Amino acid sequence: YSTPPPHLDFRAFVSALRSDNDLADIDAEVDPRLEVAAITRRAYELQSKAPLFNNVKGAHDGLFRILGASGGLSSDPQYPYRRLARHVGLPPTSSLGDFIDTMLSAKGKEPIPPVHVGTGPCKEHKLFGDNIDLTKLPAPLLNKADGGNYIQTMGINIVQHPTKPWVNWSIARAMVLDKTRLVGLIMKPQHIARIYEQWEESGKDMPFAIALGAPPIAVMVSSMPLPEGVTESEYVGALCGEPLELVKCETNDLYVPARSEIVIEGTLSITERAKEGPFGEMHGYSFLDEESVQPIYNVKAITYRGGNAILPISVPGRATGPDETHTLIGTLASAEIRQLLQENGLPVLNVFTPYETQVIWAAVQIDRKKLWTLKTNAEDFCRRIGDLIFRRKCGMQIHRLLIVGDDIDPFNFKDVIWSYASRCRPGMDEYHFEDVAAYGLVPYMSHGPGTKVTGGKVVANCLLPHEYNQEQLWVTCDFENGYPEEIKEKVLRRWTEFGL
Ligand SMILES: Cc1cc2c3c(c1C)C(C)(C)C[C@H]1C[C@@H](c4ccccc4)[C@]4(C(=O)NC(=O)N=C4N2C[C@H](O)[C@H](O)[C@H](O)COP(=O)(O)O)N31
Ligand SMILES: [K+]
Ligand SMILES: [Mn+2]
């Protein structure tokens, strides 16, 4: 059969990175205990090629190779987003704006349900019963403070609502507990937690599947906070214009992408729990006193692709070079926030969570001419935006919104911080929200001075009062805006002649 495109087949995605010269094949033996993760973390921070560890110490019977930084910024300084573009079939020259536009392009389109096929690459090898020993797999230790080996950081957690036709795909971390069990974070208001609660009420353990090395576009949609009740695989179909091919699990009625590298399936217990974490998380901290007790995943089968299956991993941390918890979670929450604001008639051009703010802030770019027609003011406008975003799940992990004008590029942090620093008056231009759900993993919430699960949110108005009803009363003093076109053209034409 012909090889599918990179966004539909993880192995083709890896080959595409290799042909993009954006992959490093590491054939030397590397230790999954910290060494793999340290190399991956440094690869994010230096924006180097994605490391493919072809010779992981302790790998056996085709389990497994490891790919780090699948969603990191690419090593090509001119096109840093080409690795993200490869996930969704966009040209390598695409911008973050193109990526967000693409992820929203299926909104309003008819969902395209997946098709069920008899078998696929993920069925080439199967382990059951005593052949399952998770402690014998080279599951990586990602940070010296981690409480376990996190085998699940880039797979798709597949769960189905017990009574409604809703199959949710998301990414939720899980670490190896013992021979046949994992333990992982199940955190409200995430959909996996909402659906888990329904199983608790039904009194039955929740069937699960974790599809690792799944089609890259499916990983993207799994990381996207689509509305409650939306079956992610149908949104993937609408994005691609064709149904995704799924195969049935061996031990339950869930379906997984046929082309996945590794599938772990079983039931998530509604009674058994265990200590989970600490885990080096997306804000760059691993709190040593993290007392997370989470549900236990009982593993009933592992199936995997031949040719040495590849386990993708994410090593979250400081976004000095962003990792997938910034490039996926931040960017895809930005997409849903933009969608929500535009659907509610707000004059929003784009939204983005700057990596320099560890994707805890989001810049909301306003079309100022349209803003004038609302005949509004900073307080009403900012409160309206805060009420919309901070009371919805897609805004859960954002604690500061910056309302900026269309002269500001939300994807350029220097623009964003210039407008925040110079136009947002302390004590008058920030509107606080203490009665909204907080993102509990943000350090000033989990280990801060105040409440832990509510509040700590703010909307910062970065527009001067007159921008709400007229043209800006200033000339911006930079090369782009401070000089007439003919001067700029002359300067650019003679730049090399000046030897500058
Ligand atoms: C891309 C990505 C997303 C992640 C995560 C990770 C990576 C790489 C790792 C590395 C494992 C770190 C933790 C970080 C951790 C986390 C927890 C809460 C909020 C944000 C992150 C969590 C997680 O462990 N639990 C959780 O519930 N959601 C996570 N998301 C966000 C969700 O995938 C995202 O929110 C989706 O939209 C969910 O789908 P849904 O809308 O519910 O259908 N992980
Ligand atoms: K999702
Ligand atoms: Mn969902």
Rounded Cα distance, 239 and 334, in Å: 18
Cβ(100)–Cβ(27) below 8 Å: no
The type of residue at 173 is: R
Q: What is the pLDDT of residues 151-174, one digit of tens each?
A: 999 999 999 999 999 999 999 999
Length of the chain: 500
Interior angle at CA 278, CA 273 and CA 280, nearest 5: 135
Q: What is the pLDDT of residues 222-248, one digit of tens each?
A: 999 999 999 999 999 999 999 999 999
Spatial CB neighbours of 227, under 8 Å, sequence gap ≥ 6: none
Spatial CB neighbours of 297, under 8 Å, sequence gap ≥ 6: 174, 181, 182, 183, 184, 208, 210, 264, 266, 267, 268, 269
* pLDDT given for residue 389 in this prediction: 98
Tokens of 273: 């729990």
Cβ(293)–Cβ(121) below 8 Å: no
Give the number of the ligand closest to the Cα of residue 173.
1
Cβ(116)–Cβ(255) below 8 Å: yes
Rounded Cα distance, 329 and 359, in Å: 8
Give the number of the ligand closest to the Cα of residue 225.
1
Is any atom of ligand 1 closer than 6 Å to the C-beta of 223?
yes
pTM of the full structure: 0.98
Which residue from 156, 191, 329 has its CB within 8 A of the most atoms of ligand 1, so it is best to mutate? 329
Q: List the catalytic residues.
A: 281
State CA 217 to chain mean position distance.
Answer: 12
Is any atom of ligand 1 closer than 6 Å to the C-beta of 153?
yes
Is any atom of ligand 1 closer than 6 Å to the C-beta of 195?
no
Rounded Cα distance, 446 and 329, in Å: 19
What are the distances in angstroms from CA 3 to CA 8, 13, 119?
A: 9, 11, 16
Phi, psi of 90, deg, nearest 5: -90, 155
* pLDDT at residue 82 greater than cutoff 70: yes
Q: What is the mean pLDDT of the chain?
A: 98
Question: Whose alpha carbon is nearest atom 38 of ligand 1?
Answer: 170
Is any atom of ligand 1 closer than 6 Å to the C-beta of 174?
no
The SS3 call for residue 486 is helix
* pLDDT at residue 47 greater than cutoff 70: yes
Rounded Cα distance, 116 and 258, in Å: 9
HSE toward the beta carbon, residue 306, CA cutoff 13 A: 5
Cβ(208)–Cβ(180) below 8 Å: no
Phi, psi of 330, deg, nearest 5: -65, -50
HSE toward the beta carbon, residue 303, CA cutoff 13 A: 22
Decide if the complex's ipTM is over 0.95: yes
The SS3 call for residue 492 is helix
* pLDDT at residue 448 greater than cutoff 90: yes
Q: What is the pLDDT of residues 180-223, one digit of tens each?
A: 999 999 999 999 999 999 999 999 999 999 999 999 999 999 99
* pLDDT at residue 291 greater than cutoff 90: no
Is any atom of ligand 1 closer than 6 Å to the C-beta of 173?
yes
The SS3 call for residue 450 is coil
Q: What is the pLDDT of residues 452-496, one digit of tens each?
A: 999 999 999 999 999 999 999 999 999 999 999 999 999 999 999
Percent of the chain whose pLDDT exceeds 90 = 99
State CA 323 to chain mean position distance.
Answer: 9
Please report which confidence band the pLDDT of residue 1 belongs to, taking 50, 70 and 90 as the band edges.
low
Neighbours of ion ligand 2 (CB under 5 A): 170
